[in-house]
């Protein structure tokens, strides 16, 4: 079930946020919510139900104001074999204005303290347009 990989990644990110004081109550104080732009999965080796899985969380990119973020997740089996990888990009939205927004310094510092990938970069709006996808109305 491919959606299980997405679930594991979401749980990994949520665990990080909860452990660092970014629970729903604290996000609501700042009127913030996360928005996923994409999650690109790469599968290398199959996992089976009940098999132990370790999911990593690394910071691949972050804008100077924390508005945009990019994570790298690797999936490992019990022997440490890299079985899958996902690149995820998203942003923060003001839940009232419905516009993208930066995050408070205390949240930014938590994200910026994450382990970074070797190719970590400072994100800009242009990075979010990497795949040139635009809506095509009916």
Domains of the chain: 2-126 (3.10.129.10)
Task: Provide the pLDDT for residue 57.
Answer: 98
Q: In residues, how long is the chain?
A: 138
Task: Provide the pLDDT for residue 59.
Answer: 98
Q: Give ∠ CA 13-133-61 in degrees, rounded to 5.
A: 35
CB 78 within 8 A of CB 48: no
Task: Provide the pLDDT for residue 133.
Answer: 79
Task: Provide the pLDDT for residue 49.
Answer: 81
Task: Provide the pLDDT for residue 2.
Answer: 77
At 81, list the tokens: 């074999």
| pTM of the model as a whole | 0.91
Task: Provide the pLDDT for residue 109.
Answer: 98
Running along the chain, 138 residues long, what does each successive block of 10 average in pLDDT? 87 96 94 95 90 96 98 97 97 97 97 98 92 83
Strand bridging mode 58-63 / 116-123: parallel
Helices (H) and strands (E) in the chain, counts: 3, 7
Task: Provide the pLDDT for residue 1.
Answer: 67
């Amino acid at each position: 079930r491919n959606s299980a990989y997405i679930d594991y990644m979401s749980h990994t990110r949520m665990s990080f946020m909860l452990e660092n004081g970014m629970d729903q109550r604290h996000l609501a104080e700042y009127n913030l919510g996360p928005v996923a732009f994409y999650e690109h999965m790469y599968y290398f080796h199959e996992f089976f139900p009940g098999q132990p899985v370790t999911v990593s969380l690394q910071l691949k990119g972050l804008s100077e104001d924390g508005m945009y973020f990019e994570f790298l997740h690797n999936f490992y089996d019990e022997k440490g074999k890299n079985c899958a990888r996902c690149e995820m990009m998203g942003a923060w939205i003001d839940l009232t204005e419905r516009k993208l927004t930066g995050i408070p310094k205390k949240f930014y510092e938590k994200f910026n303290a994450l382990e970074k990938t070797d190719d970590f970069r400072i994100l800009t709006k242009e990075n979010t347009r990497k795949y040139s996808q635009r809506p095509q109305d009916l």
